[in-house]
Amino acid sequence: MTTLSPENSLSARQSASFILVKRKPPIDKTEWDGFFDENGHLAKSRDFICVNILERGLHPTVRTEAWKFLTGYYSWQSSQDERLTVDSTRRKNYEALCQMYQKIQPLLENLHRNFIETRNSITYDIKKLYDKDPLGNVLLDKKRLEKILLLSYVCNTQAEYQQGFHEMVMIFQLMVEHDHETFWLFQFFLQKTEHSCVINIGVGKNLDMLNTLINFLDPMFAEHLKGKGAGAVPSLFPWFCLCFQRAFKTFDDVWRLWEVLLTGKPCRNFQVLVAYSMLQMVRQQVLQESMTGDDILLACNNLIDLDADELISAACIVYAELIQKDVPQSLKDFFL
């Protein structure tokens, strides 16, 4: 067992402290522009900006540009001119990939059964999406969405298409204006979060560490989950695959949590602390009613219309609690 340093303990308390007071307004355009010098270089440190995003969030007017830094689309050290060049290059590269795809599409259709199956899955998933708001205004272009998903599948050999990717790309499409921005932001987002949301890369590890965390922080709940509630935690894999997006009230809540996950604050693999906090919301009901695994899963699936700030605050409190304890090395290695 390893006790974490006083410096880390203080940092954890600071990370959780913003839940005890009214949250400051999100970073708006005026403040964001003030983070840069006359050449467009960031005058504030990456750590300063990420801590502020954790504690305050981003105003919609700066979210697109900020996310380009958070995902790696832009370098944190870049100037304004360099970012203009990057945008131009990414647009040209996207157009080149589209041309390549058009050329090889007949070959893929004839020789790769997986391509046909994946394309059918993408088409089916997209059809289920609501493409209009309550007033009937069109929110997204499903054809453009399908094109981006197919191109992503063809170009990405590691993160194969999985159910839920269509919702992720939709959320990026709603944020940005151009298809090349949607495509590249999604690619960089997958790279940043592959150890949390991609089934064949990192979801299993997240579930294992969620179990470890429950065993360490809540032994009574852990005993129930091992006995009558067996099977519940492994069945929570959609939380990670979808980055919790179906649990929230609005797209703004989804963006709020995702941008925190991208900051790496207050710790690595914060998504597991988020999942633990969500489980704690059903804990009392589970124990009082002595729920089975299937009933627990149903209760977890009923966690909808959550407020992102409240969930982030709860997960920060869990982190602060964790820091104060004599933590197993496996947890220390995973979160710090």
DSSP E strand stretches across the chain:
2-3, 326-327
Number of Cβ within 10 Å of residue 136's Cβ equals 6
Whole-angstrom distance, CA of residue 28 vs CA of residue 219: 43
**pLDDT for position 201:** 76
Pseudo-torsion of CA 91, 95, 96, 97, nearest 10°?
A: 100
For residue 245, give the H/E element and its range.
none
pLDDT at 8 over 60: no
In one letter, which amino acid is 227?
A: G
The pLDDT tens digits of the residues spanning 287-313 come to 999 999 999 999 999 999 999 999 999
Whole-angstrom distance, CA of residue 20 vs CA of residue 288: 29
In the predicted model, what is the mean pLDDT of the chain?
Answer: 90
Q: Is 57 helix (H, G, I), strand (E, B) or coil?
A: coil
Whole-angstrom distance, CA of residue 34 vs CA of residue 43: 8
pTM: 0.90
Whole-angstrom distance, CA of residue 197 vs CA of residue 264: 15
Q: Is 107 helix (H, G, I), strand (E, B) or coil?
A: helix
pLDDT at 265 over 80: yes
